[in-house]
Structure 1
Amino acid sequence: MTKRTVRGLGAALVMSAGVGLSGCAAMSPVQTQESYQPADGVALNLGSIRIDNLLVVAPTKGGPGTVSASVVNDTGQPVAIEFADKTSGATAQFAAPPGVATPVSADSNLVQLASVSAGPGSNITMTVTTATTGTAQVTVPVLATQSFFQTLLPTQAPTTPAPTTTASS
Structure 2
Amino acid sequence: MTSPRPRALVRGAAAAAGLALGLALTGCSATNPIQTQAEYSASDGVRATVGDVRATNLLLVTQAQDSPGVLLGAFTNDGDQDTTLTVAFLPADAAAGDEPENPTTIALPAGGTVLLQGADAQGGSEVTVPQTPAAPGDVATVVLSTDVGGSQTLTVPVLDGRLPDYADLVPTEG
Per the shorter chain, which TM-score range?
A: 0.7 to 0.9
Q: Which moved more, 1:89-98 or 1:63-72?
A: 89-98
Give the alignment's TM-score, normalised by structure 1. 0.72
Question: For the Cα contact (< 8 Å) 2:50–2:145, is it kept in 1?
Answer: no
State the Cα RMSD in Å. Answer: 2.9
Q: 1:55 aligns with which of 43, 46, 59?
A: 59
Question: Residues 69-128 of structure 1: CA distance to partner in whole angstroms, max 9, x if unpaired?
Answer: 212233623414122135355433032231321123456254212222322232222221
2:29 corresponding residue in structure 1:
25
1:139 corresponding residue in structure 2:
155
Which structure's relative contact order is higher, taking Cα pairs within 8 Å and 6+ residues apart? Answer: 2
1:91 equivalent in alignment to 2:95: no
Offset, 1:24: 0.5
1:120 equivalent in alignment to 2:136: yes
Q: Which runs of 5+ in 2 are unaligned?
A: 1-5, 94-99
Which amino acid in 2 is paired with 1:154?
A: P
The CA distance in 1 between the partners of 2:23 and 2:128, in whole Å, is 58
Q: Which moved more, 1:147-156 or 1:51-60?
A: 147-156
Query: Residues 127, 80 of structure 1: CA spacing in aligned structure 2 closer, same or farther, 3 A cutoff?
Result: closer
The CA distance in 2 between the partners of 1:138 and 1:7, in whole Å, is 63
Question: Residues 5-50 of structure 1: CA distance to partner in whole angstroms, max 9, x if unpaired?
Answer: 9887766654443222111001101222121223321121112222
1:166 corresponding residue in structure 2:
none
The CA distance in 2 between the partners of 1:150 and 1:55, in whole Å, is 14
Query: Residues 152, 5 of structure 1: CA spacing in aligned structure 2 closer, same or farther, 3 A cutoff?
Result: same
1:151 corresponding residue in structure 2:
168
2:113 corresponding residue in structure 1:
101
Give the alignment's TM-score, normalised by structure 2. 0.71
Question: For the Cα contact (< 8 Å) 2:119–2:170, is it kept in 1?
Answer: no
Question: For the Cα contact (< 8 Å) 2:133–2:140, is it kept in 1?
Answer: yes
Q: Which moved more, 1:148-157 or 1:135-144?
A: 148-157
The CA distance in 2 between the partners of 1:78 and 1:14, in whole Å, is 60
Offset, 1:142: 1.0
SS of the counterpart of 2:28? helix
